[in-house]
Homo-oligomer: A and B are copies of this chain.
Amino acid sequence: MRISELSERTGVSTASIKYYTREGLLPAGERTGYNSTAYGESHVARLRLIRALIDTGGLTVAAAGRVIAAIDDPGIELDHVFGIAQQSVPRDVTPPSAASVETVRALMRERGWATVDTNPGIALAASVLDDLAVTHTDLDAVLSRYAEAVDRIAEADLDAVAARGDRDQMAETVVVGIVLGDVLLAGLRRIAQESHTHRRYRGGVVPGRAPETPETEDPT
């Protein structure tokens, strides 16, 4: 297909398509003549991946380029792709206190979680604990319940990767899962929080909606 059709199919402007090609995120199309280039389905799929990482995941173009390079390089092993993707998600972290870092490390021992010392999650979780200490009275209980839930989530993440066929597909699933999984969790958590709030403080009644009437036995 021509670049105009590729743009129409994906909703990405031709200027952006050319920009992603120059930056190495998108392979060049096949030159079919003077001033004309042909694109295929692989370009459609790749553009969807690029937009997911940038638009939904909030990655910069440079960060998206790094993780896509990792997907495309068959010499990079899968667990290294994990590391590259984890580092690519933008997070400003306030340096955490030593006490909170130790709390996170104690939690890791408790759950049998072993990582390299530079895993970005350690500083991130610890800096949040510093902030939560001000407003949460029993932080240890919250933390261990979060950790238990996260263990199941990570297991599901790895199963989704293992379900793919070859190394390239697996690498793609790793990257997308890491970047978008956070956003999916944030979305589901908004829904569950509201639902639990109605249950706990309003007897399950949703504001602006009639309470559900219990089914009554048919009198006949």
Contact A120 B190 (CB under 8 A): yes
A9 at the interface (CB under 8 A from B): no
Query: Which residue of B121, B125, B149 contacts A149 across the interface (Cβ within 8 Å)?
Result: B149
Interface 0/1 of A99-143, CB less than 8 Å to B: 000001000100111111001111111111101101111100111
Contact B114 A158 (CB under 8 A): no
Total count of chain A residues near the partner, CB < 8 A: 100
Within 8 A of B (CB), among A146-183: 146-160, 162-164, 169, 172-173, 176-178, 180-183
Query: Which residue of B121, B141, B176 contacts A191 across the interface (Cβ within 8 Å)?
Result: B121
Beyond A145-B156, A185-B186: 4 further Cβ-contacts under 8 Å?
A: A51-B94, A120-B187, A132-B180, A137-B163
**What are 16 A-B contacts defined by CB distance under 8 Å?**
A48-B134, A49-B135, A108-B195, A113-B192, A116-B207, A119-B194, A128-B180, A131-B176, A135-B169, A136-B163, A136-B173, A143-B184, A145-B152, A145-B156, A146-B181, A149-B149
